[in-house]
Amino acid sequence: MLSIIQAAGWPIWPLIACSILALALIVERFISLKTSKITPPNLLEEAVSVSRQSVPDQQVVEQLAQNSVLGEVLASGLRAVANTPRISEEDLRAHMEGAGRSAAHKLERYLGALATIASAAPLLGLLGTVIGMIEIFGSQAGSGAVGTGNPAQLAHGISVALYNTAFGLIVAIPALIFWRYFRARVDSYLLNLELASEQFVRHLLRLRG
């Protein structure tokens, strides 16, 4: 591996940095986007159960908010009703929609960076290719004809071009795959959050009386 890096030259170092960053982002997103941290099973039913008769006390609401992302959204509705018992449906929905936007921002964190790496890695590989080609033509400049220049310089230029092109694709393809995977996963979570929030709004409206 070290010999490949040495053969590819300095243009490969930005790609190595991108690969390390992409790996870190992928691991972080796998940890952060666990179902237990976003939409735990039966949490909606439990929230409805503890607030069936009245709004629970502040400690219960805080525990719900700390439970998961869905818990934060549901807790925002409970806080709104607790602070304004006769809150209008529009204001209640506005409170929960605000919490939903905050939740969406958390779920989408770092996805933009991963998408940028997926887009930039092939361009960085292309940059390395261009630099390798420049070295190739530079090695021929003194000979007046291709093929009669410095063979070592020619081989080095070709290796720089090919290694950087390949490494750019090696970084970009997994980054793109995982970005699409996480994007689909986030979209699924957002749909579940929206459906759960709508059910909880109807419950809170009945609770409000």
Chunked into runs of 10 residues, the chain (209 residues) has average pLDDT values of: 66 90 96 94 92 88 93 94 89 93 94 96 89 73 54 70 87 96 96 95 83
**What is each CA distance from 110 to 33, 72, 116, 150, 184, in whole angstroms?**
12, 20, 10, 46, 14
Per-residue CA distances from 149 to 98, 144, 203 (Å): 67, 8, 80
pLDDT at 31: 95
Q: How far is CA 185 from CA 32, 44, 114, 118, in A?
A: 12, 20, 15, 18
pLDDT at 85: 85
Domain that holds residue 96: 2-208
Which amino acid is residue 171, in one-letter code? V
Token pair 């805080």 is found at 62
For CA atoms 114, 21, 178, 182, give the dihedral sign.
Answer: negative
Q: Sign of the CA dihedral 109, 204, 196, 38?
A: positive
The pLDDT assigned to 112 comes to 95
Q: What is the Cα–Cα distance from 140 to 41, expressed in whole angstroms?
A: 67
Q: State whether residue 39 is helix, strand or coil.
A: coil
Q: What is the pLDDT of residue 54?
A: 85
**Res 35: pLDDT:** 93
State residue 207's pLDDT score: 78
Q: What is the pTM of this model?
A: 0.84
Question: Which value, in Å, is the radius of gyration of the alpha carbons in the chain?
Answer: 27
Report in angstroms the alpha-carbon separations of 176 from 16, 99, 165.
16, 29, 16
Q: How far is CA 141 from CA 66, 71, 148, 188, in A?
A: 67, 68, 10, 58
Number of domains in the chain: 1
Q: Provide the residue type at 208 as one letter.
A: R
**CA triplet 112, 117, 120: central angle to 5 degrees?**
120
